[in-house]
């Protein structure tokens, strides 16, 4: 196949960007009449904008790409020529997105991801920036066998306005508000207005406590408004559909983003619920899939925006074909709770002893009970978050005292097992079982299950077989008789 160029409309986009970057300079110099020394931020914006537009023009003139039967190739560069390629059998996802300027000119940026992370993760995806809408559809058709037509498949989830509420209730609203107000302050300084001095005059005679409360309220209101704008801009018109064997997410207000993930690579789903979110019934949902991570350049494994946990579980049931994430899990034995309570007591005692050189012996009278109450609450939360089960061919594990994560992994995707026991676990008849897989984070763990349950859990995989190695420090054989004597061979 011949080498192809990027769409010539990219030149028009660059001209628009260059013109837009000159607007602040024109306003400060022509309308406000500021001197160059006072208008340096606007001049910096103009220089950066024009420079980026010129560099983008050079990139358009020198970049070529092509798709062969074996791989996707791209080459370019003015002074230093480079060529990159991705084998087509290594492609894990194909996405297309368009900022407002691209949408005005009918352009799309197509990103081809190979699912690589780590040192080379930032360069593992090829970005074809930019091509026409029709060319983007053809690229999707060639790379994932989909015509990329409007979403006419099965709709699994759709944006709901009520989701905005769940994304506003965040402690980050205060920090976002502080950042926005700080930026507004410096913008006002550019135009000769000192908002801080104005606020100081208004605060004369006001009690310091009221000043702090009003400032916190202002930060929260402004930050919440910023979070609303950010969430709506990123997730407006969100749709999750099943189209031609792909799970497709489409979202965005000013910048549209479409990501296709091959469904046959999905090995499970994970639902994360931080403690505060659990009280509100909020969760984040991500795929456990091969070749795609949470930080992938093509959109990652996140399949739903933050929203109601009921929607997350219903969507997971549609994708997995089973409601395994809605079923009750088997809680570890009470010995697991005793282990955590003992650990909490030791932690409180050590922290109290460590404080004595800075305080006094009398401090231990109130410090130890206070710390013990906190660590005990954490121990109870940690225990209540634990659970495991095997349902419909899935291993379901749950853990996390502050951020509870519930993962359902296909048993056929498990490639190995690791059973670990500490000295105290052996005394309590507990074991920690980790299932290794090539998908997601690579390992999913059932913490502190009964040692006698290890055999049944591992045998449920069908082809797994576990025997303790002679050199490993396992429990007394009397405590792990069902395990040490071996597992039945999986059926033919």
Please state which of the ranges 30-34, 287-291, 298-302, 342-346 shows the lowest mean pLDDT. 30-34
**3 state SS of 155:** strand
pLDDT, position 369: 92
25 within some domain: yes
Q: How confident is the model at residue 152 (pLDDT cuts 50, 70, 90)?
A: low
Q: How far apart are CA 286 and CA 304, in angstroms?
A: 7
What does each C-alpha distance from 36 to 18, 32, 327 come to in angstroms?
Answer: 20, 12, 67
Contact (CB, 8 A) for 71 and 87: yes
* Mean pLDDT, residues 58-68: 90
Q: Is the pLDDT of residue 401 over 80?
A: yes
When pLDDT is averaged across residues 182-193 and rounded to a whole number, the result is 76
Average pLDDT over residues 389-417: 91
Q: How far is 85 from 81, CA to CA, in rounded Å? A: 14
231, 343: one domain: no
Residue 197 half-sphere exposure, CB side, CA atoms within 13 Å? 6
Q: List CB contacts of 360: < 8 A, sequence separation 6 or more.
A: none
Domain final position from 24, 46, 62: 62
Better pLDDT: 11 or 150: 11
Q: Could you say which DSSP state residue 330 is in? A: B
Residue 129's H or E segment, with its range, is: strand 125-132
pLDDT tens column, 164-177: 988 887 778 888 88
Strand pairing class (430-437; 443-450): antiparallel
| pLDDT for 488 | 37
224, two tokens: 């919440």
Is residue 89 domain-resident? Answer: no
> What local confidence, expressed as pLDDT, does residue 210 receive?
86
The answer as to whether 218 is a domain residue is yes
Q: Is the pLDDT of residue 464 over 90?
A: no
Q: What are the distances in angstroms from CA 19 to CA 15, 26, 35, 55, 187?
A: 6, 10, 21, 15, 21
Q: Which of 210, 235, 260 is the C-terminal boundary of a domain?
A: 235
Q: How many CB atoms lie within 10 A of CB 427?
A: 14
Count of CA atoms in the C-beta half-sphere (13 A) of 54: 6
Higher pLDDT, 157 or 31: 157
pLDDT at site 96: 86
Domain count, the chain: 3
pLDDT band at 295 (very low <50, low <70, confident <90, very high): low
Q: Is residue 430 part of a domain?
A: yes
Q: d(Cα 468, Cα 348) in Å, to the nearest integer?
A: 36
Give exposure, 312-323, as e/b (b: 16+ Cβ within 10 Å): bbebbbbbbebe
Task: Answer whether residue 484 shows pLDDT above 80.
Answer: no
Cα separations in angstroms, 473 against 335, 421, 422, 427, 468:
21, 8, 9, 13, 9
d(CA 29, CA 32): 6
Q: Does residue 255 register a pLDDT over 80?
A: yes
Residue 314 belongs to some domain of the structure: no
For residues 196 and 43, give the distance between their C-alpha atoms in angstroms, rounded to a whole number. 25
Cα–Cα distance measured from residue 299 to residue 316, given in angstroms and rounded to the nearest whole number:
18
The residue-averaged pLDDT of 26-39 equals: 59
pLDDT, averaged across the chain = 81
- Same domain assignment for residues 359 and 477: yes
Residue 71 CA: distances (Å) to CA of 57, 74, 116:
26, 10, 16
Q: Do 343 and 469 lie in a common domain?
A: yes
Mean pLDDT, residues 218-230: 90
Kindly indicate the confidence band of residue 447, based on its pLDDT and cuts at 50, 70 and 90: very high
Cis peptide before 453 (omega within 30 of 0): no
Percent with pLDDT over 90 in the chain: 34
Confidence band of 81 (pLDDT split at 50, 70, 90):
confident
Domain boundary among the residues 235, 251, 268 is at 235
- Distance, in Å, from the CA atom of 54 to the CA atom of 152, rounded to the nearest integer, reads 40
Pair 197, 338 in one domain:
no
pLDDT-derived band at 124 (thresholds 50, 70, 90) equals: low
Query: Across residues 86-100, what is the average pLDDT?
Result: 84
pLDDT number for residue 41: 64
Q: Judge whether 82 lies within some domain.
A: no
DSSP string over 296-321:
-TT--SEEEEEEEHHHHHHHHHHHHT
pTM score, two decimals? 0.76
Is the pLDDT higher at 245 or at 389?
389
Rounded distance, CA 368 to CA 376, Å? 12
In terms of Cα–Cα distance, which of 246, 310, 232 is closest to 273?
310
- Nearest CA-CA partner of 394 in 461, 475, 328: 461
**Which residues make Cβ contacts (< 8 Å) with residue 38, sequence separation at least 6?**
28, 190
Furthest-apart CA atoms within the chain: distance in Å: 88
The answer to whether residue 304 is domain-embedded is no
Q: Using the predicted structure, report yes or no on whether residue 302 has a pLDDT greater than 80.
A: yes
Average pLDDT rounded to a whole number, residues 193-221: 84
Structure token digits, residue 142: 């060639």
- pLDDT at residue 373 greater than cutoff 80: yes
In a domain, 191, yes or no: yes
For position 455, what pLDDT does the model report? Answer: 83
* Domain of residue 181, residue span: 165-235
What was the pLDDT predicted at 146? 57
């Amino acid at each position: 196949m011949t080498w192809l160029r990027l769409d010539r409309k990219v030149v028009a986009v660059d001209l628009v960007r260059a013109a837009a970057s000159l607007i602040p300079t024109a306003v400060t110099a022509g309308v406000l009449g500021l001197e160059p020394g006072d208008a340096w931020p606007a001049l910096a914006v103009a220089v950066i904008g024009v420079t980026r537009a010129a560099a983008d023009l050079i990139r358009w003139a020198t970049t070529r790409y092509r798709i062969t039967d074996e791989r996707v190739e791209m080459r370019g560069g003015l002074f230093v020529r480079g060529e990159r390629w991705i084998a087509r059998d290594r492609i894990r996802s194909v996405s297309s997105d368009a900022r407002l300027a691209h949408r005005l000119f009918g352009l799309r940026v197509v990103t081809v991801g190979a699912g690589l992370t780590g040192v080379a993760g930032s360069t593992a995806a090829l970005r074809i920036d930019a091509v026409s809408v029709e060319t983007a559809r053809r690229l999707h058709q060639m790379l994932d066998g989909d015509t990329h037509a409007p979403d006419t498949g099965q709709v699994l989830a759709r944006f709901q306005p009520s989701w905005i509420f769940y994304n506003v209730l965040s402690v980050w609203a205060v920090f976002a508000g502080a950042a926005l107000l700080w930026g507004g302050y410096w913008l006002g300084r550019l135009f000769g207005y000192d908002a801080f001095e104005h606020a100081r005059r208004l605060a004369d005679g006001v009690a310091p406590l009221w000043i702090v409360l009003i400032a916190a309220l202002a930060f929260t209101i402004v930050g919440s408004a910023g979070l609303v704008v950010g969430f709506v801009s990123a997730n407006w018109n969100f749709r999750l559909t099943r189209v031609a064997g792909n799970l497709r997410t489409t979202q965005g207000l000013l910048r549209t983003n479409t990501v296709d993930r091959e469904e046959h690579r999905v090995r499970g789903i994970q639902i994360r619920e931080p403690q505060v979110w659990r009280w509100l019934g909020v969760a984040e949902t991500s795929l456990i899939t091969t070749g795609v991570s949470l930080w992938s350049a093509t959109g990652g494994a996140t399949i739903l925006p933050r929203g109601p946990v009921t929607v997350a579980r219903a969507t997971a049931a549609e994708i997995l074909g089973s409601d395994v994430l809605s079923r009750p899990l088997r809680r570890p034995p009470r010995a697991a709770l005793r282990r955590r309570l003992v650990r909490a007591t030791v932690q409180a005692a050590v922290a109290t002893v460590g404080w004595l050189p800075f305080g006094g012996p009398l401090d231990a009278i109130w410090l130890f009970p206070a710390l013990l109450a906190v660590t005990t609450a954490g121990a109870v939360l940690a225990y209540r978050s634990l659970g495991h089960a095997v349902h419909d061919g899935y291993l379901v594990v749950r853990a996390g005292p502050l951020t509870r994560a519930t993962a359902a992994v296909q048993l056929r995707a498990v490639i190995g097992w690791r059973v670990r026991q500490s000295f105290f676990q052996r005394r309590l008849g507990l074991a920690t079982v980790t299932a290794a897989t090539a998908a997601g984070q690579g390992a999913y763990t059932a913490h502190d299950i009964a040692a006698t349950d290890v055999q049944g859990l591992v045998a449920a995989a069908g082809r797994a077989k576990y025997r303790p190695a002679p050199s490993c420090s396992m429990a007394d054989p009397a405590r792990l008789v069902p395990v040490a004597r071996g597992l039945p061979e999986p059926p033919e």
